Amino acid sequence: MSRLPKATSLAVLVAVAAVSLQALLVPLFAGPAANLEPRDLPIAVAGPAPAADQLAARLAAAHPGAFDVRVVADPDAAIRNRDVYGAIVLGPQGPSLHVASAAGPTVASLLTQATATLGEGRPVPVVDVVPADADDPRGAGFGSGFLPLAMTSLLAGILTFLLVKRRGARLLALGTFAVLAGLCGAAVQQYWLGVLPGDYLSNAAVMGLFGLAVAGTVAGLAAVLDRAGLALGALTVFLVGNALSGVSSAAELLPQPWGAVGQLLPIGAGSTLLRSVAYFDGNGAGAAIWVLCAYAVGGLVLVAVGRRGLAGPAAEVAPVPVEREPALAL
């Protein structure tokens, strides 16, 4: 049997590799989206002590593993502090549901459905303690706005490695990108599209930190591992991170431990941080800040110590020709 020509073998190998990648990416993206359900989702119950305790036990028994039910004295404060996603408040007129659609409209809708039977035939009133932006009531603009920022940050990291050949210039490029990406991204979402509330400079700082975390990580990995680092950065930070981010839902709705893993990657941490800063005065932002700072600082360190893709010493310092005087004849 004659061997296949080299070009034909390569073509078949490329096709098989592409289909294999497709087989991995489809469940990575579609799997979490198709299995959205509460998994230890923090919610609160507030009201008279005996009735509140009984309702908490009833919810835990009716939905095992779905909710992390806590009895609190001030349900609205617990929601604003991002301790819980919603609260069932027992009052003289019956139960009411307090939610924060700004924390995720999907979660608010799910809690509304899950508590519909508590009214015993009467509708359960819903109070939106922290509503989503009026121009983005379903949160679609917030979720969609993160993807372009992640894509441009990935591209900035790749281009910095491929086109900038000196360490100092690479660090300058990444820092400049982070500042401009934050200022521009916040301006577009707040003043042009109107889908993001809050303080402009605070939102810009979050977007800038996120951009630096993504671009710095990709450029840093490449500076150490060369083009394999680019592939690793794109796969981990962008593809896997986007699929597990919970930007349009919540980490507690994704299959575990993938929801928790997504919060340890830049896109998941970045979306959590931006929600906290834009809607909740920074409450619940601590872990996300540390995650993004770790990626940003780690990426910059790798850029500073990595040697891949740098111009050679001969290109950095051009040799100066030295003319020799002719030897004197004796």
Q: Alpha carbon of 70 to those of 44, 73, 87, 108, 110: distances in Å?
A: 5, 10, 9, 17, 18
Taking each helix axis as running N to C, give the angle between helix 140-163 and helix 266-279, from 0 to 180 degrees, rounded to the nearest 10. Answer: 130
The Cα–Cα gap between 59 and 72 comes to 15
- At residue 209 the predicted structure's pLDDT band, cuts being 50, 70 and 90, is very high
pLDDT digits (tens, 9 = 90+) for 86-127: 999 998 888 999 999 999 888 998 898 888 888 777 888 999
Answer whether residue 15 shows pLDDT above 90. Answer: no
Which pTM value belongs to this model? Answer: 0.85
> What pLDDT, on a 0 to 100 scale, did the predictor assign at position 330?
39
Are the C-beta atoms of residues 291 and 262 closer than 8 Å to each other? no
Cα torsion through 172, 173, 179, 184, rounded to 10? 160
What element of type H or E holds 176?
Answer: helix 167-187
The Cα–Cα gap between 241 and 268 comes to 7
CA-atom Rg of the chain in angstroms:
26
pLDDT digits (tens, 9 = 90+) for 180-206: 999 999 999 999 988 899 999 999 999
> What pLDDT, on a 0 to 100 scale, did the predictor assign at position 316?
46
pLDDT digits (tens, 9 = 90+) for 18-77: 787 677 666 666 666 666 788 889 999 999 988 888 888 888 888 888 889 999 999 999
Mean pLDDT of the chain: 86
DSSP structure class, residue 2? P
pLDDT digits (tens, 9 = 90+) for 230-270: 999 999 888 888 888 888 888 888 888 888 999 999 999 99
